[in-house]
């Protein structure tokens, strides 16, 4: 009598990992294609059909990864916010004096968006601000950015290098100034030079303790 060979019920981890890797790659490809189109044409002018056509896939493929155009758009913003905030937290948590910490923070911000001009173009349009989900997302990350500035200003006040005035108000002013420069300044300049120029303007009156 022939002996029955029992097949293993253990899943093939290698195959699963390969499939997961493919899904992540396809998701990133969709995000990149959508970023290109949203940056070039604007949110309201882009359709899911166009994104699928840009990639050479069916519209259904796009919907396998993103439930709607709004969801896809918000994922682009969320990804960019998470990427820049991770970099900024590294600078905030180091032991540098507050002025140097702020200068490095500004350099990181301007360098990031100079390398990601398509995302910056999308952010500058702010086309879906009336959508509840967009407002909640951008407000969450705006509050986190302001708090990062506030922590640096508080550190500078404790060190005696920054003016002993309302840190929250100063942080909001800094947030507005940096945002305006990012959107409207000529990014043909080196990002480090832009950061140094902004810091110098701030240091000449906004933050420096003139009595020290």
Determine the pLDDT at residue 16.
61
The verdict on 45 and 113 lying in the same domain is no
pLDDT (tens digit per residue) in 107-143: 999 999 989 999 999 888 766 665 777 888 888 999 9
Any residues with CB less than 8 A from the CB of 114 and at least 6 apart, and which?
A: 187, 191
Instruction: Give CA–CA dist 203/171, Å, rounded.
Output: 14
Q: Does the reported pTM lie above 0.85?
A: no
Give domain status of residue 82, yes or no.
yes
Give domain status of residue 202, yes or no.
yes
Instruction: Give CA–CA dist 96/102, Å, rounded.
Output: 9
Q: Residue 23: which pLDDT band, with cuts at 50, 70 and 90? A: confident
Give domain status of residue 32, yes or no.
yes
The verdict on 100 and 23 lying in the same domain is no
How many domains is the chain built from? Answer: 2
Domain that holds residue 28: 12-66
Give domain status of residue 3, yes or no.
no
The verdict on 113 and 166 lying in the same domain is yes
The verdict on 19 and 76 lying in the same domain is no
192 burial (CB, 10 Å; 0-12 / 13-18 / 19+) is: middle
Q: What percent of the chain has pLDDT over 70?
A: 84
Give domain status of residue 5, yes or no.
no
CATH code for the domain of 90 = 1.10.357.10
The verdict on 62 and 76 lying in the same domain is no
Q: Does residue 145 register a pLDDT over 90?
A: yes
The verdict on 61 and 85 lying in the same domain is no
Beta bridge partners of 162: 208
The verdict on 117 and 188 lying in the same domain is yes
Instruction: Give CA–CA dist 86/48, Å, rounded.
Output: 30
The verdict on 41 and 109 lying in the same domain is no
The verdict on 128 and 86 lying in the same domain is yes
CATH code for the domain of 32 = 1.10.10.60
Instruction: Return the higher-pLDDT residue of 212 and 146.
Output: 146
Give domain status of residue 211, yes or no.
no
The verdict on 168 and 200 lying in the same domain is yes
Q: Residue 73: which pLDDT band, with cuts at 50, 70 and 90? A: very high
Q: Residue 2: which pLDDT band, with cuts at 50, 70 and 90? A: very low
Give domain status of residue 161, yes or no.
yes
């Amino acid at each position: 009598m022939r002996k029955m060979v029992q097949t293993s019920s253990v899943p093939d981890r290698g195959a699963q990992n390969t499939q997961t890797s493919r899904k992540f790659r396809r998701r990133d490809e969709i995000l990149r294609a959508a970023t290109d189109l949203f940056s070039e044409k604007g949110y309201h002018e882009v359709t899911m059909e166009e994104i699928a056509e840009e990639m050479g896939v069916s519209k259904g493929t796009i919907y396998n990864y993103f439930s709607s155009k709004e969801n896809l758009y918000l994922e682009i913003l969320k990804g960019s916010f998470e990427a820049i905030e991770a970099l900024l937290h590294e600078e905030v948590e180091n032991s540098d004096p507050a002025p140097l910490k702020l200068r490095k923070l500004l350099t990181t911000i301007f360098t990031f968006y100079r390398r990601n001009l398509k995302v910056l173009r999308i952010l500058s349009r702010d086309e879906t601000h009336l959508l509840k989900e967009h407002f909640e997302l951008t407000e969450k990350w705006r509050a986190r950015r302001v708090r990062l500035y506030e922590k640096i200003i508080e550190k500078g006040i404790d060190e005696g290098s920054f003016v002993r005035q309302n840190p929250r108000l100063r942080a909001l002013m800094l947030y507005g100034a940096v945002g305006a420069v990012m959107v409207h300044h000529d990014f043909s300049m080196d990002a480090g030079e832009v950061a140094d120029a902004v810091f110098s303007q701030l240091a000449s009156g906004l933050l420096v303790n003139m009595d020290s």
